[in-house]
Amino acid sequence: MEIVSIFEPYLYSFKYSDEEFDELERLFDEWNDIEMLRKFFEENSKDLIYYHIDIDDVIIETRKEAAALRKKFIDLSLESSPKLDAMFMNLDDSELRIINMSKQKSRRRWLRIYAIRIDTNTFVITGGAIKLTHQMEIKKGGRPHTEKELKKLDICRNYLKEHGVYDADSFNELVI
Amino acid sequence: MKIMKTETIINFEKLVSQEKSGWLEKAKWRQDNQAWLEKSALIALKVLRALSDQGSNQRKLADKMEVSAQYINKIVKGSENLSLETISKLEMALGIQLIEVVGFSSFVSYEIPESVQPEIIVSSEIMNILLENKFYSGDNKLNSGEYESFVKAA
């Protein structure tokens, strides 16, 4: 695995050896792929019950959300000092971060991008998911694809630590 | 603390590949082409739904349109810049309307081709009603003519 820059020196992404693209590029390709989205939502249709939305509408909403997220990142890439910290909030385990597009807590927001904070406004993306369940771990009601993202976060964190990328401030500070 | 941070950043930068992500370029392209990409995505959605409703698949559609299965697969991903000719071929092959010009209704009639018409499996109770009312000709499957007669009568 390697790390590629999205826009230096602020946003980076992991690129895994078994993937053609880095994680951010892969995620946005998937979130724009109608066939893939349809397959995903058909396989996870039970989780859509809580959202009161059918498969066609959830695909359209997903694309809209992906477009909004894309615009946000493009706009940030044009800023001289992008405030990436404002886009992220902590995951429950207090070490990992999750992107947070919507402060208004819309019920129809399920796209997630997971990242590790390296320094102030500096992040490296480890993956992402369409998260329809409250929890990520299977034993807590999550789904295999969300649990996989937790594992990826763990692998990436260990990889960074092994290479001396460890900062107490980065991993323990919770307040955004 | 500051020294630690610097070391962290230095160590991190050592890990960053020379290769850059293609995300930003692709994202800008998607943003610049959003208007037609949105239409392409909606067409893909409708094509996939029609294939599912008709019990058909991409391979059958490709054969019907005399194009490659790979091309149909590109279409259903929703990022293909489709020509009006291709859209019309899709409409004829699927027997559905995909687009229309606002303010004008199409004079082309779209009929679901016989080969992709859905089979309607009927329960024995319904079959008895159909037989009694002579809407139904034989096996336990209803063709579209028989179904229409039944619906009209109902």
pLDDT tens profile A90-147: 775 444 555 544 333 333 488 988 888 888 888 999 999 998 888 888 888 888 998 9
Distance, C-alpha B142 to centroid of its chain: 25
Average pLDDT value for chain A: 84
Q: Which residue of B has its CA nearest to A157?
A: B12
Burial A2-39 (b: 16+ CB within 10 A, else e): ebbbbbeebbbbbbbeeeebbbbbbbbbbbbbbbbbbe
Structural domains in chain B, CATH included, are 24-102 (1.10.260.40), 117-154 (no CATH)
- Written as six digits, the tokens of B50 are 């029609």
> Which chain A residues are within 8 Å of B7, Cβ to Cβ?
164
pLDDT tens profile B3-34: 445 688 899 999 999 999 999 999 999 999 99
pLDDT tens profile B81-112: 999 999 999 999 999 999 989 888 777 777 66
Distance from CA of B123 to the nearest CA of A (A): 27
Distance from CA of B59 to the nearest CA of A (A): 14
- Complex-level ipTM: 0.84
> Which chain B residues are within 8 Å of A168, Cβ to Cβ?
4
Interface contact B1-A169, CB threshold 8 A: yes
Distance from CA of B37 to the nearest CA of A (A): 9
**Chain A, window 90-149: residues with a beta carbon less than 8 angstroms from a chain B beta carbon:** 118-119, 122, 124
State residue A176's pLDDT score: 26
Asked if A130 and A61 count as a contact pair (C-beta separation under 8 A), the reply is no
